[in-house]
Amino acid sequence: MKKQWSITGIAALLLAAASMPAQAVTYGTPTIALSASYLSGAVGAVGDPVVDVTVGQSGADASALTVSATASSKASVAGTGDVTVTGTGAVRRLAVAARGRGYTDLTVKVVGLGGKSATRTLSYAASAAVRNPADARYFTGSADASAAVEVGGGYAVVADDESNVLRLYDRSRSGAPVRTWDFGSQLGVTKEVDIEGGTLVGDTIYWTGSLGNNKDGEYKAPRNTVFTTKLTGSGSAAQLTYGRSYKKLRDDLVSWDTANGNRYGFAAGTAAGQAPKQIDGFNVEGLEFAPGSTTTAYLGFRAPLAPAVPGGKALLVPVTNFDEVLASGAKAVFGAGVELDLGGLSVRDVKKNAAGQYLILAGSWAADDNSDPYALYQWDGVPGHAPVKRADLPTTDPGGWEAVVAVPDLSVPGARVQLVTDSGSADLYGDGVEAKDLAHPEWKKARAAWFTLG
């Protein structure tokens, strides 16, 4: 027999339910994660690197959480008021505006519902203000930038003379590389090739080591390396694959010079105990192809000068079968040396555009030369034709000018060119530590700066 519920009984049940205490909502402890625990910036910089802050809390929507900097260990570098957090969802973006040079630990706090919170520490390093900060960007992850090759879409591959890693950067932004490639194992080396120059022909990027001794005058075989990488895609989608290498170019150069009366002193410059960055040393820092050629490449020498005396001329040596050297291992064949008057400076980089206009980044042959003169010279690539100075470069900021990213149309008034520094020996943060020796890659950085050519 079915049980019958009276209206009175149902009402009593509803009344009892209504009088029961409501179930309390419980919230978990918030979570907070930083995309990087270390961050660098510069006083007065535009577009410094940022950190993503990912937050959450069980039982709460992420938009209900608040994120802020609540403490600084050194407010003179950056205080809590110098930290900006944007966004409202699970991922916020944190930026820091540096006040002064040095280091500080910033406490980043998330506050959730129920009064619960969590913190993380962001270790921040700020370098000093530089000339024309609006035109400066900082490529982080390495301080020893040594060569750059533009790969379209506002991106460039940047080499490092302290490793065999190539890094892809957005030229317009400060921050970490989009992608990296380490070709050490494919090159068969465990030490750095000392990459100093690179240029793109078709879909092939040619790279050269310095070919010289190390700073102590010792021969290190990896430095006697030129190699290729194949480029596929462009811009942020650019990819590199290893091509081929050749490890006897230094030997070929010495043999050629010896057979031609030791005009440039290559045998002496490569001798045991000879430091490469001397006026009569041996050190290659530039690589670019001759006008209209895909076979003849110019090797630009930081040392020696020609002749090897103060005021001597800068030296380029044409390798007339450079494509075959890399494609099949053919012994290098050389043309007559090209001697250029760069006001007593030598080649730190040489780059041309599709119209055959060349820019030569000229600097001292000396090893400790960040305060020595630097200049940009325009040239047409023709031996016997004189280069023309387009700009003197500032030397008051850290780092030595090392690479031309790409050559603009030099016939256009106000043409702008982007250069990159090697900042490996710079004391960026005022603690006496060279940038190359900093403990965290996020604090290592090379400066890229735009210049308007006169």
Q: In sequence order, what are the beta bridge partners of 104?
A: 124
Instruction: Assess contact for 420 and 161: CB atoms under 8 A.
Output: no
User: Which tens digit of pLDDT belongs to each residue from 101-145?
Assistant: 999 999 999 999 999 999 999 999 999 999 999 999 999 999 999
Give the residue from 405, 415, 414, 411 showing the smallest Cα distance to 446: 405
- Which token pair is 406? 């790409």
Would you list the domain boundaries of the chain?
31-127, 133-452
Fold annotation for 133-452: Neuraminidase (2.120.10)
316 vs 273: CA distance, rounded Å: 24
> pTM of the prediction?
0.92
Tell me the one-letter amino acid at 380.
D
Half-sphere exposure of 381 (CA within 13 A, CB side): 22
Question: Count of CB atoms within 10 A of residue 224's CB?
Answer: 23
* Per-residue model confidence (pLDDT) at position 11: 46
Give the mean pLDDT of 329-358: 98
Burial grade of 41 (CB within 10 A; 0-12, 13-18, 19 or more): buried
How confident is the model over 91-106, as a mean pLDDT? Answer: 98
pLDDT of residue 13: 42
% pLDDT > 90, the chain: 93
2-31 pLDDT tens trace = 445 455 544 444 444 444 444 557 899 999
CATH code, 31-127: 2.60.40.1080
pLDDT tens by residue, 390-439: 999 999 999 999 999 999 999 999 999 999 999 999 999 999 999 999 99
pLDDT digits (tens, 9 = 90+) for 177-233: 999 999 999 999 999 999 999 999 999 999 999 999 999 999 999 999 999 999 999
318 phi-psi bin (left φ>0, alpha ψ -120 to 50, beta other): beta
Burial class (CB in 10 A: 0-12, 13-18, 19+), 349: buried
